[in-house]
Amino acid sequence: MSSRLAGADALESRLRAPGTAIVPYLTGGYPSLAVFGEALSALSGSEAVEIGIPFSDPMADGATIQESSRVALEAGASLDSILTTVQALGRVGTELIIMSYLNPLMAFGYADLLSRLAETGVSALVVPDLPLEESGELGAVSREHGIGLVQLVSPVTSQERLEVLGKASEGFTYAVTMTGTTGGTIGGGEEVTGYLDRVRAASRPPVLAGFGVRTVEQVRALGPHCDGVIVGSALVEVIAAGEDPVEFVAGLKP
Amino acid sequence: MTITTETGRYGRFGGRYVPEVLVPALTRLEETARLLLGDPGFLTDYEAELATWVGRPTALTRAARLGEAWGGDLWLKREDLAHTGAHKINNAIGQALLAREMGAQRVIAETGAGQHGVATAAACARLGLDCTVYMGSVDIERQAPNVERMHILGAKVEPVTSGDATLRAAINEALRDWVTRPETTYYLLGSAVGPHPYPWLVRELQSVIGREARQQMLDRSGRLPDAAVACVGGGSNAIGLFHPLLDDPIELIGVEAGGTSPELGRNAATIGRGSPGVLHGSFSFLLQDEHGQIQETHSVSAGLDYPGVGPEHAWLAETGRVSYESATDDEALTALYELGRHEGILPALESSHALVGARRWLAEHPGSSVLVGLSGRGDKDIDILRGLAR
Ligand SMILES: Cc1ncc(COP(=O)(O)O)c(C=O)c1O
């Protein structure tokens, strides 16, 4: 099981602190490596920051993150250059979560990748196209480095599967708020909160809700049913508009 | 020869690399498909559709004049004669029957050349299912006649402008649609690619090509051919032809799109020039850069213009059972005209790649016999051919 992973454990205790954690998502290298680095450092007061590695074929992403990924890749971003940018910032004081589709991780090579992530101070890894059944190899290498491999669950995940995923997840359990791509519209009321309650009951680590979170009203509604929220597309839109990400994230605190 | 399909693995290739939200839908599809493909009632319905609507068995044609010109005995398995003009219909009607059994409210599909889109539109019309087809805007332009056909058959065609605006982008968009409505939508994938169970399911539905051809060769020539050749995009017509021949002493040759040059970006020779990785739900060969970013491809034939390939082909390449080579745009075009002028058959640009493989085989093995999987007809390519002839 997943106990005693230095990185993942630190993240878990950070997220367990009282209050709703607001976890900003940044597309690595968007709109450029320099601006991304500045945004990350400005947001380092957050409990954790999720850094998305841009991929040419982001099948779980909506229009906003597809576009930010395309721009980042065109500007020359890669897993390697993004990690170098993060390392150059030194200790950032926030837990770092890396989100990447599987292929860029495979191309890097799992052993090299995980030592590099450990060096960079990464606590957990989210791989949206790697379901539990396929995650044995990457999970084993991650564990050796104390880094958690996060499991995602969705509203159509059965109760039985929820229990398995909630136990297997490390660092946090990623509760996808809806069936859809990032940036979509979250259904209202009971349906979502009831689902989050079920995830929380089944999950060993803390639960972060993500996909489509963009307003403080949503954070207020979801907050009591999870440990925090991930804010992705809405924040990328703020950065695209040249506005202040810190102010936007502060405005989401209930 | 044993092939692992229980776990969706072909050696180290295959698998199910999808967002969690699709796992229940794929599990349900796998269970239903296993049940129904072994169910006599379902198979009777499927075979009746193949016989009375698709027009199977398709003919085996001996290409005597072209065989003579190329120096051997040339046989064509005529999938161009199947309803809607390509092998794609074998899979489309089979999966549409599955979709109906599963109570799907709508069917979605991707298409490159438009042949799978037309086949899916036709199968959905036949069974009264709502149909949406994702197609890259580049392909909409170069395969315009097929777009019209889909409209006439009552399907919605959704243009895809993201990414490279060809088949790969269309699959991404279809997957995004499916992720949004995984419980009510049936994704009718058109090639032997994607997450398990698709590579297996599509192979099962296309294997009718190889089963028929094998028997027809025995009936007509009293023996099996020395070699069998098919073009490989995602690999559905090729696996359909090859799978029933794997245990026979027949040289099997898959022909990929060599495009304009061997350089990355100028072809779609995924096995020949790619490396292992994960795209669209399975571990197979890919055309990618050193950072694992998928690269753009080029082929004159929209149906082969794809940076991935079915995982079973990756495995057959690795074991050496099937050899894979490529044909350039120009070689394919030459073969297309040669078949037209010697045999009165206009093949699809995709299928013309297979003819190049057959010609090479006969040049190296004069007097031998070769069976070509002629996957489709070339009417859809008239605009391209007219443009190139100028
Ligand atoms: C006539 C024809 N042949 C071949 C292909 C390639 O697909 P596959 O490799 O799955 O047979 C296509 C795809 O559109 C096609 O239309």
Mutation test of ligand 1: which of B198, B206, B375 has the most ligand atoms closer than 8 Å to its C-beta?
B375
Q: Is B78 in the pocket of ligand 1 (CB under 6 A)?
A: no
Rounded-to-integer distance, Cα A82 and Cα B121, Å:
44
Tell me the backbone φ, ψ of residue B370, rounded to 5 degrees: -140, 140
Q: How close, in Å, is residue A176 to chain B by CA atoms?
A: 9
Q: Which atom of ligand 1 is nearest to the CA of B86?
A: 1
Largest CA distance in chain B: 55
Q: What angle do CA B349, B351, B352 make, to 5 degrees?
A: 60
Torsion angle, CA of B270/B88/B191/B182, rounded to 10 degrees? 150
Q: What is the DSSP string of B106-166?
A: EEEEEESSSHHHHHHHHHHHHHT-EEEEEEEHHHHHHTHHHHHHHHHTT-EEEEE-STTSS
**C-alpha B309: how far from chain center:** 10
Q: How confident is the model at residue B6 (pLDDT cuts 50, 70, 90)?
A: low
Q: What is the pLDDT of residue B2?
A: 38
Question: What is the Rg, in whole angstroms, of the alpha carbon atoms belonging to chain B?
Answer: 19
Q: How many residues does chain B have?
A: 390
CB B234 within 8 A of CB B190: yes
CB B233 within 8 A of CB B268: yes
Residue among B89, B159, B82 nearest B125 (CA): B89
Strand partners, B323: B253
Per-residue pLDDT, averaged over A184-198, amounts to: 90
The edge-to-edge listing of strands for the beta sheet with B369-374 is B60-62, B73-78, B369-374, B227-231, B251-259, B322-328
Q: How confident is the model at residue A59 (pLDDT cuts 50, 70, 90)?
A: very high
Q: Give the helix, strand, coil percentages of chain A, each rounded to 5.
A: 45, 15, 35
Residue nearest to atom 1 of ligand 1 (CA): B376
Tell me the backbone φ, ψ of residue B119, rounded to 5 degrees: -60, -40
Positive/negative CA dihedral, A207, A213, A214, A217: negative
CB A147 within 8 A of CB A124: yes
List CB contacts (< 8 A) between B182 and chain A. 156, 179
Q: How confident is the model at residue A15 (pLDDT cuts 50, 70, 90)?
A: very high
List CB contacts (< 8 A) between A153 and chain B. 20
List CB contacts (< 8 A) between A179 and chain B. 21, 179-183
Q: What is the pLDDT of residue B5?
A: 52
b (16+ CB within 10 A) / e for B120-148: bbbbbebeebebbbbbbebbbebbeebbe
Surface-to-core class of residue A192, CB atoms within 10 Å of its CB (0-12 exposed, 13-18 middle, 19+ buried): buried
Mean pLDDT of chain B: 96
Q: Is B191 in the pocket of ligand 1 (CB under 6 A)?
A: yes
Does B175 touch chain A if contact means CB atoms closer than 8 Å?
A: yes
Strand partners, B253: B229, B323
Q: Is pLDDT above 70 for B98?
A: yes
The edge-to-edge listing of strands for the beta sheet with B275-279 is B9-10, B13-14, B282-286, B275-279
Q: Is pLDDT above 60 for A2?
A: no
Residue nearest to atom 14 of ligand 1 (CA): B303
Give the count of alpha carbons within 13 A of B165, CB side only: 8
Does A184 touch chain B if contact means CB atoms closer than 8 Å?
A: yes
Q: What is the ipTM of this complex?
A: 0.96
If you measure from the C-alpha of residue B387 to the centroid of ligand 1, how many angstroms do you get, rounded to a whole number?
A: 22
Q: Does domain A3-246 have CATH number 3.20.20.70?
A: yes
Residue nearest to atom 13 of ligand 1 (CA): B303
Nearest CB to A128 within list B19, B288, B290: B19
Q: What is the pLDDT of residue B88?
A: 98
Give the count of alpha carbons within 13 A of B207, CB side only: 12
Domains of chain B: 17-50+88-203 (3.40.50.1100), 55-86+207-389 (3.40.50.1100)
Q: In this structure, what token pair is assigned to residue B16?
A: 């199910």
Mutation test of ligand 1: which of B84, B91, B229, B236 has the most ligand atoms closer than 8 Å to its C-beta?
B236
For chain A, give the percent of residues with pLDDT over 70.
99
Helices (H), ranges, chain A: 6-16, 33-42, 63-74, 79-88, 102-108, 110-120, 136-144, 159-168, 190-202, 216-222, 233-240, 245-250
Examine the residue annotation and report whether A61 is marked as an active-site residue of this protein. yes
Over residues B231-258, the pLDDT tens digits come to: 999 999 999 999 999 999 999 999 999 9
Nearest CB to A134 within list B17, B162, B277: B17
Q: What is the pLDDT of residue B350?
A: 98
Helix or strand holding residue B350 (H, E) = helix B349-364
The edge-to-edge listing of strands for the beta sheet with B185-187 is B156-160, B130-136, B106-111, B185-187
Residue-range domain boundaries for chain A: 3-246
**C-alpha B332: how far from chain center:** 17
List CB contacts (< 8 A) between A131 and chain B. 16-20, 23
Per-residue pLDDT, averaged over A183-199, amounts to: 91
Q: Is pLDDT above 50 for A71?
A: yes
Rounded-to-integer distance, Cα A5 and Cα A60, Å:
28
Per-residue pLDDT, averaged over B264-290, amounts to: 97
Q: Is pLDDT above 90 for B104?
A: yes
Contact A165 B175 (CB under 8 A): no
b (16+ CB within 10 A) / e for B302-314: bbbbbbbbbbbbb
**C-alpha A203: how far from chain center:** 17
**C-alpha B313: how far from chain center:** 12
Contact A56 B163 (CB under 8 A): yes
Over residues B156-207, the pLDDT tens digits come to: 999 999 988 999 999 999 999 999 999 999 999 999 999 999 999 999 999 9
Q: How confident is the model at residue B274 (pLDDT cuts 50, 70, 90)?
A: very high
Q: Is B235 in the pocket of ligand 1 (CB under 6 A)?
A: yes
